[in-house]
Amino acid sequence: MFQGNYTLTNTSHQTVTAHLAQTMTLLNMNTEEVLQTIETELSVNPALETEDFRRCPACGRQLGPVEVCPVCSQAAKIAGEETLVFLSPMREFSYENAGSSIIVDDDEITTEEIQAGELDLTQYVLQQLAPDCNPLEYEIAEHILCNLDERGLLSAPLDEIGRYFHVDLDLVESVKTKVQFCDPAGIASENSSEALKIQVQILQTLMDVPDFVAVIVNDYLDALLHRDFEEITADTGASYSDICDVMAFMAENLNPYPANAKWGNVRTPAKDQLQTYQHPDAIVHYINNDPKQGIMVEVVLPYVRQINVNKLFKEAMDTVPTARLEKWEQDYQKASLLVKCLQQRSVAILRLVQYLVDYQKPFIIEGEKFLKPLTRAAVAETLGVHESTISRAVSSKIMQLPSGQIIPLSKFFTRNLSVRCVLKEIIEEEEKPLSDSKLVGLLSERGYNVARRTVAKYRMMEGILPAHLRRRINHDSTLPRSV
């Protein structure tokens, strides 16, 4: 009897720990990754079955396992002022659904996102190169692409690469040139000006490039950066308005950091193509597409059908020969474990998203400026779960906002987003370029107290040039006399 009890608690303890481990790993994964796991498990485990989701009898909408029909239950929920959150089955997802503006935010660039992005970038470029490359060139290209910094500029000296492969420098250079003409135009240039030159060359074959652009980009970039218009006018004969056209064109079409999405708020087409197709893990909608009616959130289930333990399989276990029983037991255990853990995962994410969306509603509706500071620890506290649970639930998950933007869940936790947003605003509205210390003053007027050095960092993060290089918007009063 004792022994019986002992073994019983022992096995249940084991399943409990297995359960925990499984839940944690599932929680760590995003919807797409779980989808993979489920698919492989389905293919090896006969104890699992799938079943179509129920549909709402009233509206015919597909329902998740614990979902209340969002459309039909709207009224009650809205009255309660609580954000409507529900589970909903994964579905075919295309970026047309997502709207045109898919934005991978730039503030989280430092962490995994950019690394993933760079990997994609490498592969993306290599794909383009593959057709007209011999194996050696391909390898060199690969090496070059692995040595890009986060802006898409080459950080390793060419001769080093040449030595690494024991090949002539000329070869490395020719490969580099090939790379530069690939899609994020000017990628793998050694510096910005080189990248710009390449971009101009490419654009000239594609569209009409205003006069003087090529000349100025090639020879007078420094002068332009230093606002040394006299030198340019004198040497090239370009009038002041020509130069303005050139600058406008550059802001519109060129990008000094090929891997960086924006310069002067222009996204390169490359970024959109780079966007990997990923199903969001949660989707925020306006109810009836009307912002005034409130928002509802769909938490996406990681599989298109419901996953169950096969009841027939359970029943058949009674009649199975003892030789095979053990295997069947195992399968059954694993199956019910997976089902339970999936449920737990869904519930955990559901609760998290509910809280996040509720707390950061102004951010979702009105924009980055309204993001309230939030830490994972605080969320764990209010939800009564361990911090690491929140960490796992947040990591590698993405959410689609009503606007169509897709953001990582971690964005809800970026402490300084609103400051940076205000900073951006101030700079956009500035009459003439403000120095970092002036910006400190303006920010503290609005209740943001940050050090001068920090402003500089935020500027960089937002890709804003230092004051003395910023373009003045109103170029009427500064006409040089030599026109």
Closest C-alpha to 14, from 317, 334, 345: 334
Tell me how far apart the alpha carbons of residues 199 and 187 are, in angstroms, rounded to a whole number: 9
Nearest approach, Cβ of 107 to DNA (angstroms)? Answer: 8
Tell me how far apart the alpha carbons of residues 227 and 22 are, in angstroms, rounded to a whole number: 60
Nearest approach, Cβ of 459 to DNA (angstroms)? Answer: 6
Nearest approach, Cβ of 149 to DNA (angstroms)? Answer: 11
Nearest approach, Cβ of 99 to DNA (angstroms)? Answer: 27
Nearest approach, Cβ of 454 to DNA (angstroms)? Answer: 3
Nearer to DNA, 11 or 375 (CB): 375
Strand 398-400 and strand 84-88: the pairing is: unpaired
DSSP type of residue 411: G
Strand 48-51 and strand 84-88: the pairing is: unpaired
Nearer to DNA, 176 or 376 (CB): 376
Nearer to DNA, 12 or 435 (CB): 435
User: Both tokens of residue 413?
Assistant: 């936790």
Q: Is 168 exposed, middle or buried (0-12, 13-18, 19+ CB in 10 A)?
A: exposed
Nearer to DNA, 385 or 456 (CB): 456
Nearer to DNA, 111 or 204 (CB): 111
Nearer to DNA, 72 or 460 (CB): 460
Nearest approach, Cβ of 452 to DNA (angstroms)? Answer: 6
Binding site for DNA (CB under 7 A): 110-111, 375-377, 387, 391, 413-416, 435-438, 449-454, 456-457, 459-460, 466-468
Nearer to DNA, 129 or 419 (CB): 419
Tell me how far apart the alpha carbons of residues 95 and 240 are, in angstroms, rounded to a whole number: 43
Structural contact between residues 56 and 20, judged by C-beta atoms closer than 8 angstroms: no
Nearer to DNA, 110 or 241 (CB): 110
Structural contact between residues 309 and 316, judged by C-beta atoms closer than 8 angstroms: no
Nearer to DNA, 271 or 459 (CB): 459
Strand 282-286 and strand 295-300: the pairing is: antiparallel
Closest C-alpha to 305, from 70, 33, 42, 68: 42
Nearer to DNA, 122 or 454 (CB): 454
Structural contact between residues 281 and 400, judged by C-beta atoms closer than 8 angstroms: no
For residue 445, count other CB atoms closer than 10 A to its CB: 9
Nearest approach, Cβ of 232 to DNA (angstroms)? Answer: 17
Q: 160 has which bridge partners?
A: none
Nearest approach, Cβ of 440 to DNA (angstroms)? Answer: 9
Q: Is 391 helix (H, G, I), strand (E, B) or coil?
A: helix
Q: Is 65 helix (H, G, I), strand (E, B) or coil?
A: coil
Tell me how far apart the alpha carbons of residues 336 and 19 are, in angstroms, rounded to a whole number: 10
Nearest approach, Cβ of 220 to DNA (angstroms)? Answer: 15
Q: Is 295 helix (H, G, I), strand (E, B) or coil?
A: strand
Closest C-alpha to 113, from 370, 365, 414: 414
Nearest approach, Cβ of 435 to DNA (angstroms)? Answer: 4
